[in-house]
Amino acid sequence: NKGKVISKNAIAEHLWGDEMDMHDNFDFIYTHVKNLRRKLMDAGGKDYLTSIYGIGYKFMG
């Protein structure tokens, strides 16, 4: 999905499937992305993820 905007809802559905229908809040996605970014930066990598306010994230590889 390089260069495409992916919504938080789409990320959650892909990872957890139909169980995500019961959740109204996807703030946990923000926390996981934040931790992933930190780990990439600590390992000397680039920040490949761009936040798209109110929508989701974009992978810029």
What pLDDT, in 10s, does the model give residues 1-58?
Answer: 788 999 888 888 888 777 666 667 777 888 888 999 999 999 999 888 899 998 889 9
Cα→Cα distances 41→8, 9, 35, Å: 22, 25, 10
Q: Is 18 exposed, middle or buried (0-12, 13-18, 19+ CB in 10 A)?
A: exposed
What's the structural domain count of the chain? 1
Does this model's pTM top 0.75? no
Angle at 60 between CA 38 and CA 44, to 5 degrees: 35
CATH number, domain with residue 38: 1.10.10.10
Q: Which residues have a Cβ under 8 Å from the Cβ of 16 and sit 6 or more positions away? A: none
Q: Which domain holds residue 33?
A: 5-59
